[in-house]
Amino acid sequence: MSRPLTSTPKADGFRMPGEFESHGGCWMLWPERPDNWRLGAKPAQHAFTAVATAIAEGEPMTMGVSPAQYQNALAMLPPHIRVVEMTHDDSWIRDCGPTFVINGAGDLRAVDWEFNAWGGLDGGLYFPWDQDALVARKVAQMERVDWYAAPLVLEGGSIHVDGEGTLLTTEECLLNPNRNPLMTKADIEEMLGDYLNIEKTIWLDKGVFNDETSGHIDNIACFIRPGVVALTWTDDKSDPQYEISKDAYERLTAATDARGRKLEVHKIHQPTPVLITREESEGVDVVQGSQPRTEGERLAASYINFYIGNGVIVMARFDDPQDEPARQKLAELFPDRKIIAVPGREILLGGGNIHCITQQQPLGRK
Amino acid sequence: MSRPLTSTPKADGFRMPGEFESHGGCWMLWPERPDNWRLGAKPAQHAFTAVATAIAEGEPMTMGVSPAQYQNALAMLPPHIRVVEMTHDDSWIRDCGPTFVINGAGDLRAVDWEFNAWGGLDGGLYFPWDQDALVARKVAQMERVDWYAAPLVLEGGSIHVDGEGTLLTTEECLLNPNRNPLMTKADIEEMLGDYLNIEKTIWLDKGVFNDETSGHIDNIACFIRPGVVALTWTDDKSDPQYEISKDAYERLTAATDARGRKLEVHKIHQPTPVLITREESEGVDVVQGSQPRTEGERLAASYINFYIGNGVIVMARFDDPQDEPARQKLAELFPDRKIIAVPGREILLGGGNIHCITQQQPLGRK
């Protein structure tokens, strides 16, 4: 049975678990569009394959693939990764996919948010986005779980939760007039309460500098576990990221969570700024209405955009001196998980990173 | 895990179960193409919905749907039917889908036959058929079962098995030079042995008169259970079906099965010949290379093309005087199953019937 429900997760006793809780699996969408991924997406497909393979060490992995790419994906991916047909406009299933919720009995359901490609016709990243908008219910149908259609434009990358009533987000994204212009901050907090069972929202101001998602939280800060947060950082006061991270640090250390706890905040230094090269720019089709990939543009690189899987942390590496300190820090923060660092640049060139291209499915009864 | 295997089901101890054995579910493909289904496939979609709903009384039902029809199918089908994206060229999953096999431990695997749209460029029913050819492995991938790629052009509707080593088929289809021109009858029997664990093939000559599939067995005769067969019939000696059914009856009553049993053969009288009306013909797009739907053409109507589901028999009715005798006969032959008769004409107009548009998945461990 998989049907749209008209109640809310909160009313039905469902909550969004933290990413660090046990998973039943993980979903990704295969990259393809040549106006976003250079060289016909071949380098990105190799990068996605590495991410999927790493995550599959700990949980069942499913790759959603367009009809045109089905055979190629089946050939490129290892045989223990499930390949299913799933048309999409681009590969950011963190943002267009479902947010799964569970109840005390371990039943699984999905939340299907409204999706407008990070800003619709007022700053969105491509047009149209009609196939992305169907991904959440396609996943729910395939898994035979019921879903809630939430009347809120929201991308999964704009929220992080501790699974105990607290949500982290940014004002830059959730209060952006190109998402839900008629809703106040209080209205949005009420929706997060209804659909994720959130009691306390902690608002940062902005996301990572030049992040085209309008500052998604999942690139700047995340929960390691309840009460513990990681934050991207730089000590370079001339870097535009400095003031953003400083403000975030002040807000996080001043905040209390839904249980009244103060937060422990861990800084992870960002990599050296990553700029698009001419060769990289020239590998991308120019299409009006799609986000351009211009030579010299700074990419929103951060080590925060990792995936917490069963038994593993899958993080990006950039062949940068900060790679190893970041890896060590994550190893300290997640002592029971294997840290797998995969090349992140080709994903970053498309506008996001590992967390953005993945969506966990909590362990639950379908 | 879902991967292509290079051994054979026989070598691995797998066999194709009879359709009357327990099912884990059933698969269908949503009709869409306007050069085969009249009025943009809307009447057919209602007919398919009735079939799927009837089968879902006894087993989980999955409908594969193209990206373009996804939302419409989701809206038309009842919520307990799973809707998944699965591009196809047309809706005959009996023929392009997987044949599932099981072993003694109850493990499930799939056979992926070669598919050439009932004859390829020499008499096939449409061009291209590249998406149909991917359906079997897409189903296997979705269900996480391993599959065997069988080097034989074969449609599932051209075979019926008793699950105990016997297979029924027609020479008109399996020996047709537009299927496997380089293989002898003995070669084909060996392939059926290797991939379905068949020890004895019983060959009828032809299928139902004017059946565009080159005489698929599933429209003329089928196993009710081991040792018991149903056969379409007419007493009208002027009907071209008469000689075909008479010859089939003689071959069946003369045959013994793999266990050495004689067969009990039950005749089920065909409906009054069904002809395409002008209105029906005019509702179909004319496309060169696709089978035309011409006014006055006789359709291959038979009551044999039913589906044996968990607890149910889903049969076609044609608003014909023979409907009720056929229903009664099936009720006698299947005393433990509920007989559900659904309108069959709109499916017949597309070139097949209920068995042709369904594919059972045996109950087994994935």
Using one digit for the tens of pLDDT, what is the confidence trace for B208-217?
A: 999 999 999 9
Q: Is pLDDT above 90 for B333?
A: yes
Q: Do B82 and A131 touch (CB under 8 A)?
A: no
Environment class of A338 (CB within 10 Å of its CB; exposed 0-12, middle 13-18, buried 19+): middle
Our CA-based measurement puts residue A53 at a distance from the nearest CA of chain B, in whole angstroms, of: 13
Give the chain A residue whose CA is nearest to the CA of B61. Answer: A1
Q: What is the mean pLDDT of residues B76-99?
A: 98
Contact A88, A108 (CB under 8 A): no
- Length of chain A (residues): 366
- With residue B111 as reference, give the H or E element that holds it: strand B108-114
Residue B2 binned pLDDT confidence (cut-offs 50, 70, 90): confident
* CB within 8 Å of A239: residues ≥ 6 apart: A209, A273
Environment class of A155 (CB within 10 Å of its CB; exposed 0-12, middle 13-18, buried 19+): buried
User: Per-residue confidence at B171, pLDDT binned at 50, 70, 90?
Assistant: very high
For residue A79, which residues of chain B lie inside 8 Å, CB to CB? Answer: 1-3
Indicate whether B1 pLDDT > 80: no
Q: How far is A68 from chain B (nearest CA, A)?
A: 10
- Choose the closest CB to B141 out of A82, A137, A141: A82
What distance in Å separates the CA atoms of residue A90 and residue A324, rounded to the nearest whole number?
Answer: 31
Residue of A85, A86, A132, A134 to mutate for B, most B C-beta atoms under 10 A: A85
Task: Tell me whether residue A3 is in a domain.
Answer: no
Task: Tell whether the model's pLDDT for residue B180 goes beyond 80.
Answer: yes
Q: Which of B26, B96, B173, B356 is catalytic?
A: B356
Does A1 reside within a domain? no
Contacts A67 to B, Cβ<8 Å: 67, 87, 131
Shortest Cα–Cα distance, A221 to chain B (Å):
35
In this prediction the ipTM stands at 0.94
Residues in A touching B83 (Cβ below 8 Å): 141
Structurally, chain B folds into a number of domains equal to 1
pLDDT at A294: 96
Decide if A142 and B80 are in contact by the 8 Å CB cutoff: no
Q: How confident is the model at residue B163 (pLDDT cuts 50, 70, 90)?
A: very high
- Please give the Cα distance from B356 to B22 (Å, whole number): 19
Can you name the residues that pair with A262 across neighbouring β-strands? A256
Question: What residues pair up with B65 in beta bridges, in sequence order?
Answer: B85
Low-confidence ranges of chain A (pLDDT < 70): none
Record: contact B79-A1, CB cut-off 8 A: yes
Read off the pLDDT of each residue in B103-131 and give the average, rounded to a whole number: 97
CB < 8 Å to B138, chain A: 70, 84-85
Cα–Cα dist A240/A232, whole Å: 13
Q: Is residue A6 part of a domain?
A: no
- What distance in Å separates the CA atoms of residue B199 and residue A94, rounded to the nearest whole number? 52
Residue B192 carries which side chain, given as an amino acid letter?
A: L
Q: Is A26 one of the annotated active-site residues of the chain?
A: no
Contact A1 B142 (CB under 8 A): no
The C-alpha R_g of chain A, in whole angstroms, comes to 19
Q: Is residue A323 part of a domain?
A: yes
Q: Which two tokens stand for residue A173?
A: 């994204």
Question: Per residue in A301-351, pLDDT tens?
Answer: 999 999 999 999 999 999 999 999 999 999 999 999 999 999 999 999 999
Residue with tokens 């290379």: B289
Query: Which residue range(s) make up the domain with A236?
Result: 12-362
d(CA A240, CA B214): 71
> Does B67 sit within 8 Å of A137, measured CB to CB?
no
Residues in chain B with CB shorter than 8 Å from the CB of A2 are 79, 82
Q: Which residues contact A335 (CB under 8 A, 6 or more apart)?
A: none
- Specify the pLDDT at position A214: 96
**Option in A2, A134, A144 nearest B70 (CB):** A134
- Report the pLDDT value the prediction gives residue B302, as an integer from 0 to 100: 98
Catalytic residue among A26, A96, A173, A356: A356
| pLDDT, position B212 | 96
Residues of B with CB under 8 A from a CB of A: 1-3, 60, 67, 70-71, 74, 79-80, 82-87, 131, 134, 137-138, 141-142, 144
Taking an 8 Å cut-off on Cβ atoms, the answer to whether A144 and B70 are in contact is no
CB A314 within 8 A of CB A340: yes
How many Å apart are CA B240 and CA B247, to the nearest integer? 12
For residue A64, which amino acid is it?
G
B96: CB partners within 8 A, 6+ apart: B88, B89, B115, B129, B132, B133, B135, B136, B155
Percent of chain B whose pLDDT exceeds 90: 99
Residue that is written with structure tokens 């309008």 in the block:
A214
Cα–Cα distance for residue pair B134/A84, rounded to 1 Å: 11
Whether the Cβ atoms of residue A59 and residue A22 lie closer than 8 Å to each other: no
List CB contacts (< 8 A) between B85 and chain A.
Answer: 84-87, 138
Give the closest-approach CA distance of B101 to chain A in angstroms. Answer: 20
User: How many Cβ atoms sit within 10 Å of the Cβ of residue A219?
Assistant: 25
> Would the CB atoms of B82 and A142 count as touching at under 8 Å?
yes
Rounded Cα distance between B112 and B241, Å, is: 32
* Chain A residues in contact with chain B using a Cβ-Cβ cutoff of 8 Å: 1-3, 60, 67, 70-71, 74, 79-80, 82-87, 131, 134, 137-138, 141-142, 144
Nearest Cβ partner of B3 from A60, A79, A85?
A: A79
List B231's β-bridge partners, or say none: B221, B267
User: For position B104, what pLDDT does the model report?
Assistant: 96
Q: Which of A51, A124, A62 is nearest to A90 (CA)?
A: A124
Chain A contact probe: residue of B141, B142, B145 with most A CBs at under 10 A: B141
Nearest CA in chain B to A87: B67
Residue A4 lies in a domain: no
User: What residues contact A189, with CB distance under 8 A and at least 6 apart?
Assistant: A198, A201
Q: Return the number of other C-beta atoms located less than 10 Å from residue B26's C-beta.
A: 25
Dihedral angle, C-alpha B325, B331, B332, B337, nearest 10 ° = 170
Q: Please give the Cα distance from B84 to A175 (Å, whole number).
A: 35
CATH number at residue B268: 3.75.10.10
Segment B60-78 mean pLDDT: 98
Characterize B120-138 residue by residue with b for buried, 16 or more Cβ atoms within 10 angstroms of its Cβ, and e for exposed.
Answer: eeebbbbeebebbbbbbbb
Q: Which of A71, A79, A141 sits opposite B84 (nearest CB)?
A: A141
